[in-house]
Amino acid sequence: MPTDLQRKVFDFDRRIRYFGILDEMGRTATDGMRPGVKSLEPDQEAEMVDLQVAVTRGMTEAGSKYLGRTDYIVIHREHLMLIALPRKDKRTVLISAEPDFSLDRLRELTKIVDEGYYG
C-alpha cells in the first residue's frame, strides 16, 4: 500500500518507477514500485543497489564540513536513473526513474519529498 508521499512522487512524473526509504545502513525501511512497473534487476541485486547508495551517501558526508550538505545524489545508468535524497535523520529517500527523467525537474521533486517527509 503506497504512502501519501509515495503517491505524490509517482504523480509528479510518470517516468518515476520506484520510491523507497533506506535506513542509515542502507536497508530498506519502506519501498514500492509504481503499479504495473517491474523491477529491472532480480531481488537479490536490488539489495546491492541500496548498499551502493548508502556507501555513496557516506562518501559525500565526509566533505560536508567544508562543502556543505549534499542535496541529492544522481547515478545515471543506461537503463535507469537513481536519485538519492539524504535526510537529516540519516535515512535516504531513493527514487528510480527512467533514464530520460529531466534533471531540470529535480529541484521540484526534492521540494515535494521535503514537504512530504518533514510535514
Q: What do you get for the CA distance between the two ends of the chain, in Å?
A: 20
Q: Which segment of 38-42, 50-54, 106-110 scores lowest on mean pLDDT?
A: 50-54
Q: Is the pLDDT of residue 44 over 80?
A: no
Q: Output the pLDDT for position 1.
A: 46
Kindly report the CATH number that applies to the domain delimited by 4-118.
3.30.450.30
pTM of this structure: 0.86
